[in-house]
Amino acid sequence: MADTSALNALIQGLRRLPGVGVKSASRMAFHLLQHDREGAQMLAQALMQAAGNVKHCALCHTFTEADICDTCQDESRDASKLCVVENPADQSAVERTAAYKGLYFVLMGKISPLDGVGPKDIGLQKLIDRASNGLVQEVILATNFTAEGEATAHVISVALKARGLQVTRLARGVPVGSELEYVDLGTIAHAFVDRR
Amino acid sequence: MADTSALNALIQGLRRLPGVGVKSASRMAFHLLQHDREGAQMLAQALMQAAGNVKHCALCHTFTEADICDTCQDESRDASKLCVVENPADQSAVERTAAYKGLYFVLMGKISPLDGVGPKDIGLQKLIDRASNGLVQEVILATNFTAEGEATAHVISVALKARGLQVTRLARGVPVGSELEYVDLGTIAHAFVDRR
Ligand SMILES: [Zn+2]
Ligand SMILES: [Zn+2]
């Protein structure tokens, strides 16, 4: 594709994005170079900023640039409830329902034996410590209703119940086999009310 | 989505890529921050390098980091033939057939009245100058066989024939309505032989 190593490096760089093959990467590179060099520079700076500054909240593990995220610092939230989600997109979906005013723990993943992701990789001990702070009275498992999400919920449930904590699961109003971030808000809200 | 302006800026930056909506951009951003910060930094550097260094070949208009691209500098190529393509991906598809050993002119676009892209925007005058250098004996139009590609070929053909140049078009071996970069190499090679 022409004789430009910078162009080839850009195409290779774009292929690091999930779901982007060599054809898509080429089209993206041509588009940026031909029509949107300003966008290319904006994206480059955003990548450097984010890769350098975004870390994990010390309490809930979600992405934040501070030590503690805004949600965890919000004193108006109900500290007796802790909602466990797989990732920030799921957390965002729950937030948009406005059906929940407690706090969160974001696993940043799910247990997946086939991919070698075990309880340690989703911060199970950190979650246990968080749920055992004396304030949390109910842990609501809002992992996805996929096989891996259910397995993750099961492992967490066993570990927390062994420590005497009350553990609930979102009701099956959420369609089985689907991922939270694609579910309509009404369904998620209903599932919150019916949690078991 | 959490309280991180760097994350939001990254999602907005990724949305500048063609075909990437807010859901895809979020997934890309999470993936990079969670699993591939090295990839994020590589992509950032590749974007800066490419946006800063890639320019257009003075002769054929394709992307290059030099003033003249490698293909145009290659003295083993047949300077009596000039193949006109819409973009570097199409040029690359023609190269892979190994059915053509002449030179190229890359329009970096196509005439598209609905998008306000006219003959000036595809460098028609530059192409006329290039084809009138005394060496070129045949201009082969290899624009895509779409409505816009055909219109582009027509405009170029009229302009070049008015100046006494021999103009041919790839044979209809290329399926109508398709774009070159997605066509199998045999079909493109055959179309080269049957050019009219
Ligand atoms: Zn937090
Ligand atoms: Zn060139």
Q: Is B133 on the interface with A (CB under 8 A)?
A: no
Closest to B168 (Cα-Cα) out of B194, B196, B146, B132: B196
Nearest CA in chain A to B4: A64
C-alpha A162 to ligand 1 mean position (Å): 25
CA distance A164 to chain B (A): 30
Question: Which ligand has the nearest atom to the CA of A70?
Answer: 1
* A33–B contact, CB cutoff 8 A: yes
The mean pLDDT value for A106-121 works out to: 88
pLDDT of residue A18: 94
Higher per-residue pLDDT: B15 or B170: B15
Q: Look at the alpha carbons of B45, A121, A74, A102 in this order and tell me if their dihedral is positive or negative.
A: positive
Q: How many CB atoms lie within 10 A of CB A131?
A: 22
| pLDDT tens-digit series, residues B56-111 | 999 999 999 999 999 999 999 999 999 999 988 889 888 888 889 999 999 998 99
For residue A181, the chain B residue with the least C-alpha distance is: B23
How far is Cα B4 from Cα A166, in angstroms, rounded to an integer? 31
Determine contact: A48 vs chain B, CB below 8 A. yes
Ligand of minimum distance to the alpha carbon of A74: 1
Say if B29 is an interface residue toward chain A (CB within 8 Å): yes
A38 touches B47 (CB < 8 A): no
Q: What is the distance in angstroms between the CA of the first residue and the CA of the last residue of chain B?
A: 57
Interface ipTM > 0.85: no
Amino acid present at B127: L
Model confidence over A10-33: pLDDT tens digits? 999 999 999 999 989 999 999 999
SS3 label, residue A74? coil
pLDDT tens digits along A156-191: 999 999 999 999 988 866 777 777 778 878 778 777
Q: d(Cα B121, Cα B53) in Å, to the nearest integer?
A: 22
